[in-house]
Chains A and B, each alone.
With several copies, the nearest count.
Chain A
Amino acid sequence: MSEDTAAVPARTQGRAPAAKETGIAGLLGSAAGRNTGLVVALVLLCAGGVVTAGDRFADIDNVLTILRLAAVIGVVSIGMTFVITGGGIDLSVGAIVALSSVWATTLATQGMATGTHWIVMVFTALLVGGACGLVNGVLIAYGRVVAFIATLASLAAARGLAEIISNRKTQIVNVPGFAAFFDASVLGVPVLVVIFALVAVGGWVLLNRTTFGRRTFAVGGNPEAARLAGIDVRRHTVMLYSLLGLCCGLAAVMLIARTTTGSATHGGLYELDAIAAVVIGGTLLSGGRGTIAGTVFGVLIFTTLSNVFTLNNLSISAQAVAKGAIIVVAVLLQQRLARRSGA
């Protein structure tokens, strides 16, 4: 037992110093520096993939497969990074994705979209997602319901609503142009991956380069100080949840594109996946510290893990055990290395 570290396991952990960030180079440099452990874990994972699956892993198609898989949950995780950094939590993301996907694919919406443009579906999904987020935010900030409980309630309600609207049937999309747009590639990169990248970069800028981002840290780190500094903590909280809701709406659009369906079962357990990616990335669950780059690494670690497993034909139960072990190792690595590079 070493006494200097005895303090607070969860809180002292991973408090890296504010790195000096300047420009895009700074973005990459600092992201890599603070996330050494995650990068190392990801590289180890990839090395494992190459060793066990050789070319089948290191293939460009396989990499795109990993990225496409990461895209949907990635967008949700970016939004979740904001909420968690702001001291909150949202358990309803999966349900919001489901509800948005269902609402955007009802006969009525599709009919409208066919009559005008498929973009109508996209707006519907974003609107529904954003509205759900707004409700969460208002309940939490103004109703003062604990975030965990408020979003647990939304989880139940949104999924129930999705089932009622869809009558528990999978709704198939047949709006012309919709699938074509999202199935396309830009310079060989699938549109879904491009969207993920844009959201990640946009999220990074928003969190690290704008007053909105600064205030998010303040609201999460010390809400009382934020209030005394003149920040409207409650309004900001509402904005954070609405932002996450929008991300869920966008994720719903991406999922509709990927599956050509909307369904009340979409997004199952996304809450756990997203929170896990965010936390493994180094965002503090208690708020006040958050990193978009870490979240992206977290998402990639999880998706690469399942890809390597898929390629290797391991026994399914053994996969679960291995997954647990790998998560712990990744986190320990990140801690040890972040501390070294930090101090």
Chain B
Amino acid sequence: MTVPAAALLSVRGLVKRFPGVTALGGVDFDVRAGEVHCLLGQNGAGKSTLIKVLSGAHRPDEGEIRWRGEVVSFGNPTAAMRSGVAAIYQELDLVAGLSVADNVFLGHELSTAGFTRRAEARRRTRALLDRLGHPDIAPDRDVGRLSVAHQQVVSMARALSLDGQLLIMDEPSAVLDPDEVRVLFGIIRELTAQGVAVVYISHRLAEIREIGDRVTVLKDGRTVATGLPAREVRTAELIALMTGRDIDNVYPDRPPVDPAAPEVLVVRGLTDGDRFRDVDLTVRAGEVVGLAGLVGSGRSEIVETVYGARKRVGGTVEVDGRPLRRGGVGPAVRAGMGLCPEERKSQGLLLDQAVYRNITMSSMSSFARFGFLDDRAERTRSAALTAALDVRPAGVDRVVRGLSGGNQQKVVLARWLLRECRVLLLDEPTRGVDVGARNEIYELIRELATRGVAVVVVSSDVEEVLGLADRVLVVREGRVVHDGPADEIDESRVLDLVMEGHAA
């Protein structure tokens, strides 16, 4: 391996251990000025940990980091920032309650003698957001009230405001829609043209081909390949490097839905008086229905309202022909509905509890006799599920907080797989999930469907919706603008529908 003198950052033999886990077991790679260096690896491979070490948020146990040829140790994030390393973390770490502008300049506030220059901060934030294609986000808004996608944009604005030499992005595209990804790529190109280096993490191989220059693959905390040319290397090779096995067929076969199958979920004229109106949705037993649309189009709100987690102002929801009472989540759960929420950290998980307890949370009564829980049965069933979903590291007694983002997502999925639902609502089920596991999740969804479950999948990945679903609904600004079989529509048509009226 030849290390050109131009290497901005070079990493050798990096090791980071957590209690009970070695997250990084020897990582080597180099980043050159002006390149987009992609990091690939399965969930739990150590990508996020590597980022945190590079940005000073974690201190490595062993190994050497050279910055512009000199050995450095970033004891804390400030030191890294001063050197010109800026990071966007996977778990958006913004402060709800503070405004967008405050978040952008948090830690490097614009100030005179300790007093914040608020107008200046607002103005610069405005400029950064415009540059990111989001004039719609007001710098004064409380970040906690923005959608996940918009929060991601704020994180990017924050990273840009640091004016770094190295920009690290941990799955920035996971919550963005195609349109926004395009804007993001535009900015990345602009930056690299100025000599800024970008480390880019994504589970979407297509993106890597589009934006990446070189690829480093991590597996189980080690570098298994580095410096691969992003445009030339074969997909199958990458997947084999990441997973150690071959995965060819991403989307499982779709057996035709029995037209006589009972309509399990029937939604008529659903309205929440705010975000969407008059939504009709019917899902038969064994059918997978996909909801496509732009981020912010109201898909999450639709499924949350169907589930009873948001207030239903008008319309009816029926499960197996029985109308659902209003009044919270209870009736929906009792009727056999399940929801995988969009934000796993704040809506889905008990971060400080064991994996198995998170999994059995919605099916506790099936493990209980007279209210007493059978711990052992809970563990056994959970272990079976985590094995099936390949949650790593294995071990149902682990605390969820210590799992990587993708593995946390799998834990939420396992919860509803365990509770054999009649209707399963999945909001971005594969966000942050790696190729291998993604495949397994698709298989599981399909298997559930064949067992007669009615499945609704919300996804910002149009390809995924088309590949996975039997029927596709396109949502635009709170209205369903298309409802038809998935094989009668293609990606560009969906994008057209989605963007219509949007100044893309």
Contacts and interface: CB of A to CB of B under 8 A. Distances in A.
Direct contact of A and B (CB under 8 A): yes
B330 A18 contact: no
B106 A209 contact: no
A15 B401 CA distance: 11
Interface in B347-390: 347-354, 357, 361-362, 364-365, 368, 371-373, 375-376
Contacts of B371: 210-212
B29 interface: no
Nearest to A222: B95
Given A210-B116, A211-B368, A229 B357 contact: no
Contacts of A2: 59, 311, 327
Given A4-B58, A17-B141, A222-B94, A227 B19 contact: no
A288 B144 CA distance: 11
B11 interface: no
Contact of B114 (A22, A211, A232, A289): A211
A325 B61 CA distance: 35
Interface in B78-95: 78, 81, 87, 89, 93-95
Contacts, number: 203
B305 to A, nearest CB: 9
B351 A222 contact: yes
B203 to A, nearest CB: 22
Given A3-B309, A228-B341, A342 B351 contact: no
Contacts of A6: 328-329
Contact of B347 (A213, A225, A230): A225
Contact of A226 (B56, B107, B352, B354): B107
Contact of A3 (B99, B327, B398): B327
Contact of B78 (A20, A222, A230): A230
A230 B145 contact: no
Contacts of A180: none
A210, A224, A225, A342: which has the most chain B beta carbons within 10 Å? A225
B95 A225 contact: yes
A226 B116 contact: no
A214 interface: yes
B399 interface: yes
A217 B362 contact: no
Given A211-B364, A218-B361, A15 B352 contact: yes
B308 interface: yes
**How many of chain B's residues touch chain A, expressed as a range?**
35 or more
Interface in A303-343: 342-343
Interface in A198-215: 205, 209-215
Contacts of B434: none
A112 to B, nearest CB: 33
B20 A343 contact: yes
A22 B140 CA distance: 12
A95 B41 CA distance: 56
B15 to A, nearest CB: 14
Contact of A288 (B95, B106, B362, B364): B95
Interface residues of A, number: 36
A1 B74 CA distance: 12
A217 B97 contact: yes
B333 interface: yes
B375 A22 contact: yes
A289 B97 contact: yes
A102 B117 CA distance: 42
A18 B96 contact: no
Contacts of A217: 95, 97-98, 102, 350, 353, 357
A40 interface: no
A222 B93 contact: yes
Interface string B293-317: 0000000000000011111100000
Contact of A4 (B75, B310, B349): B310
A17 B144 CA distance: 9
Interface string B19-52: 1100000000000000000000000000000000
B373 A21 contact: no
Given A209-B372, A222-B93, A288-B352, A230 B346 contact: no
Contacts of A213: 116
A197 interface: no
B109 interface: yes
A224 B373 contact: no
A3 B106 contact: no
A221 B98 contact: yes
Interface string B326-347: 1111101110000101000011
A215 to B, nearest CB: 7
A210 B57 contact: no
Contact of B326 (A3, A21, A211, A288): A3
B234 interface: no
Contact of A225 (B93, B111, B328): B93
A221 B349 CA distance: 9
A231 B368 contact: no
Given A18-B399, A231-B106, A214 B93 contact: no
Interface string A56-87: 00000000000000000000000000000000
Given A221-B350, A222-B96, A18 B115 contact: no
A231 B95 CA distance: 13
B322 interface: no
Contact of B95 (A209, A226, A343): A226
B491 interface: no
A6 B107 CA distance: 16
B436 to A, nearest CB: 27
Interface string A1-34: 1111010000000010110111000000000000
B327 A227 contact: no
Contacts of B397: 17-18, 20
Contacts of A18: 97-99, 140-142, 353-354, 357, 397, 399
Contacts of A228: 55, 57, 77, 87, 89, 93, 307, 309, 329, 339, 341, 347-348
Nearest to B158: A229
Nearest to B339: A228
A227 B329 contact: yes
Nearest to B121: A214
Nearest to B162: A230
A22 B378 CA distance: 13
Contacts of B81: 230
B353 A221 contact: yes
Contact of B109 (A214, A225, A342): A214
A211 B369 CA distance: 9
A17 B100 CA distance: 12
B141 A221 contact: no
A234 to B, nearest CB: 9
B415 interface: yes
B142 A17 contact: yes
B78 A211 contact: no
B351 A221 contact: yes
Given A221-B352, A228-B348, A288-B95, 6 more contacts: A210-B371, A211-B364, A211-B368, A217-B350, A222-B95, A231-B361
Top 4 nearest A-B pairs (CB, nearest first) are A230-B333, A229-B107, A225-B93, A230-B78
Interface of A: 1-4, 6, 15, 17-18, 20-22, 205, 209-215, 217-218, 221-222, 224-232, 288-289, 342-343
14 contacts: A3-B56, A6-B328, A18-B141, A210-B111, A214-B357, A221-B98, A221-B353, A225-B346, A226-B107, A227-B77, A230-B330, A231-B361, A232-B328, A288-B96
